[in-house]
Amino acid sequence: MLDALVAALVVLLVVAGVVVILGPHNVIGRIASIRHPTRVPAVFQPRGPREVVPPALNPKTQRVVIAAARLSNWMRAHGHEDVAREIRNGAARMTGNEPAGLYALQTTLRRIRVVNITDSASQERLKSLVSELRTAVQDRFEQLELLPFRRT
């Protein structure tokens, strides 16, 4: 009980000291200027989704990733899920470990040679997408000077 009385007296003395320092006109003006907030503070509002910006990629790396995405989407649309998944995984690896991603894409490109499509228009589209990705991968290999590199 005595502790509570001493604490109240200390608080009263501190408030009285602040009032004396600021002066009565400043204290009254500041108390009058305090308004109640009209909206809920941002702490209680749900946050919107955060924008995650990937690190900037080299333009040739971007070219590889775009070509891989095109080929992966085409392969998935034509029922080759396993190859499409490998292409997507290789392209995703490039953001963390670019040489490993390039080697994975190169290995997957070797497997795609075996895929045969009966429709000639689809076969031509597949060949153009594969050659686009192969060229992009080779260009990036040469730029990074990852040796040894066999041209296929």
Of 83, 104, 84, 101, give the one whose Cα is nearest residue 93. Answer: 101
Domain ranges in the chain?
Answer: 9-44, 59-144
Q: Strand (E) positions, 81-122?
A: none
Looking up tokens 């990733």 gives 65
Model confidence pLDDT, tens digit, residues 13-58: 998 888 777 776 766 676 667 776 666 666 666 666 666 556 677 8
Looking up tokens 């190859």 gives 83
pLDDT given for residue 150 in this prediction:
53
Model confidence pLDDT, tens digit, residues 86-127: 999 999 998 888 888 999 998 888 887 666 667 788 888 888
Query: Using 50, 70 and 90 to split pLDDT, how confident is the model at 142?
Result: confident
Whether residue 8 has pLDDT greater than 90: yes
pLDDT given for residue 135 in this prediction:
92
